[in-house]
Structure 1
Amino acid sequence: MIVLACAYSKPKPGHIDDAARQGLESLRCGRSSASAENLEHLHPMRDGSTPHCSIGIEVSQATVAKYMMRRRGKPSPTWRSFLRNQAIGIAAIDMFVVPSATFRLLFVMLILTHDRRKIVRFDVTQNPTAGWLSRQVTEAFPWDTAPRFLLRDRDASYGSIFRNRVEAMGITEVVTAPRSPWQNAYVERVIGSIRRECLDEVVIFNERHLRRVLSSYVDYYHSTRTHLSLDKDCPRSRPIQPPRDGRIMAVPQVGGLHHRYERLAA
């Protein structure tokens, strides 16, 4: 009896022959013939290597990852893209606290539309309940003026009454992630502007006083204050006055904290 001994050498991990190298090279070059059909046979083993079942060779998983085509760009639209593409149909709601001279906490609610950065509604209360917030949304968007999306945070004040009212109006709620105010950046920026340009310079006595001060600032914000995102225009578009219209005059606003500059005929 003649016994034939056959030697079999197991390929080292990461070692590939010419045929496998050509297949991986086609992956690197982006050839479609080797993208789906060749990779569907690769299954990782316990030792980290990857056998190619169809041609009987062993390929390291790291080698395959090295030659696979990498995704170009981001896999999905970013949050900034969502805010920019859907700006016409997005409104944002948020609240902030203002302490009074008598150490009472007053809550201010703002609703802002993203397209022209308009403050469509604001109000002041000492007890922001879900019922009170739901009425503010109803008064901000009467009839068929409701936006497509309403952006808000995870404040507990937005209870079931608020959510049911928003759903009945045909508005889709978009709730930001926990501790992520940057996802509601536009209304957060407006709140910061109100604090820096108005409330930090005024001592608030009571709820009525705060409402009057905010009303004056909102009028200035809409008709006078320019925005870089609006090409240095106001939320209520302001026409450019040529020099022939007269001299430049300063009109005090917000109790003299700010001024509106206009050309007035002599």
Structure 2
Amino acid sequence: MKNIYHKLLLLIAGSTQKELPAQIRYLKVENEVLRSKLPKRISVTTQEKNRLVKFGAKLGKAVHEIVTIVAPSTLLRWIRESKKPGGIKPVRKGRPRTKEEIRELIIRMARENDWGYTRIMGELKKLGIKPPSRNTVKNILKENGLDPGPKRGEGTWDEFLKMHAATLWQCDFYSKRVLTLKGWRDLYVLVFLHVDSRQVFITSSTFHPNEEWTTLQVEKFLEHAKSKELSVQTLMHDRDKTFTTKVDATLQAMDIRVVKSAYRSPNTNAFVERFIQTLQQECLDHFVVFGQEHMDYLVHEFVDFYHEEQPHQGKENQLLTSVDQPEAEILSINSVKCHERLGGVLKHYHRQAA
């Protein structure tokens, strides 16, 4: 390539005054052909910019006719900047880098929990921090050797149920093996979930979930829903034998439609099933439960955490019953505190009041 330019310079130097315009016209046409083969936008280095400025400054008005590698206005701007102290300003490419404080907070949350990137984005939003994009959070985690996906099993949702979410409740039993003075026994709770708001009501535990107990819990549930001003028009449950005719009659007497899920179709009761899985994996699986009082305490703590402190991915990372903190203009890492429940099993982050 150097030999070509060397020969070109010798040719121009030996040319007559009449030959030079013809040679320049040809070179311009050849340059246009070569330029058409290249991408529309060409990046140049700082060194290349300085060379263009050095020779372009002598062109005068011909800049608008000759320059094609960049817009003529761009070269003129470079020439003006080169005359100022500091020279040509470097151009920063791409998106602005995420603030280091936010990067540190993302990494901290990921290391202290088994959360995926969407849950971390929810915690940031709850703190009043505008989260980076999903891909940015995922890349930050990957750069630090952290898995961007949450550690949980796969689950599917029945989208049809969302059409009835505003007035639909689902309920199901959950049993936990607990240690008592009589040895290991099965302890039961009954879980009610409002599909639209995702709010839950969990009964006190029992070793004997018979018809009488279940009917009483249904009545307590209806009182709870009324106190929270949550409509109950439809209640969906599976075909567990404990849901007897008397239990359903209690609901129907209140003008509540009872819908039984299809045989061997747990996905039709997907929302409450998913909540029970969350209760189990995020809380109860971490403990050896000693009797009813211990079980009720653990469940009560989790329900408070679930309603007041946990951002919900299915609700655009909003809290269920508390208001998000206002967006922070300036973030101080020292102002972000971690609140723990149940010895650190349940954590949430909040900004400490000034």
Matches within 5 A, 1:59-138: 80=158, 82-101=160-179, 102-138=183-219
| 8 Å contact from structure 1 (residues 121, 136) kept in 2 | no
Aligned mates of 1:201, 1:104 — CA distance in 2: 18
Give the gaps of 5 or more residues in structure 2.
1-156
1:264 and 1:245, CA in 2 relative to 1: closer, same or farther beyond 3 A?
farther
Offset, 1:120? 2.5
Match among 266, 282, 290 for residue 181 of structure 1? 266
Matches within 5 A, 1:208-219: 208-219=293-304
Q: Equivalent residue for 1:29?
A: none
Q: Equivalent residue for 2:241?
A: 156
Report whether the alignment pairs 1:232 with 2:327: no
**What SS does the corresponding residue of 2:204 show, helix, strand or coil?**
strand
Offset, 1:235? 1.8
Aligned mates of 1:234, 1:241 — CA distance in 2: 13
Aligned mates of 2:308, 2:200 — CA distance in 1: 12
Report whether the alignment pairs 1:256 with 2:256: no
Query: Which stretch of structure 1 is more off in the superposition, 130-139 or 164-173?
Result: 130-139
Aligned mates of 1:204, 1:127 — CA distance in 2: 17
TM-score by length of 1: 0.66
Matches within 5 A, 1:22-41: none
TM-score by length of 2: 0.50
Aligned mates of 2:186, 2:246 — CA distance in 1: 24
Question: Identity of paired residues, percent?
Answer: 28
Give the gaps of 5 or more residues in structure 1.
1-78
**Which aligned runs of 4 or more in structure 1 are off by greater than 6 angstroms?**
none
- What residue identity is the alignment partner of 2:298? V
| 8 Å contact from structure 2 (residues 239, 260) kept in 1 | yes
Aligned mates of 2:217, 2:231 — CA distance in 1: 12
Aligned mates of 2:249, 2:217 — CA distance in 1: 14
Structure whose CA Rg is larger: 2
Q: Equivalent residue for 1:51?
A: none
| 8 Å contact from structure 1 (residues 241, 263) kept in 2 | no
Question: Which of the pair is proportionally richer in strand?
Answer: 1
Aligned mates of 1:122, 1:252 — CA distance in 2: 24
Question: Which of the pair is proportionally richer in helix?
Answer: 2
1:141 and 1:245, CA in 2 relative to 1: closer, same or farther beyond 3 A?
farther
Number of residue pairs aligned between Structure 1 and Structure 2: 188
Aligned mates of 2:230, 2:278 — CA distance in 1: 26
RMSD: 1.9
Q: Equivalent residue for 1:169?
A: 254
Report whether the alignment pairs 1:139 with 2:220: yes
| 8 Å contact from structure 1 (residues 146, 169) kept in 2 | no
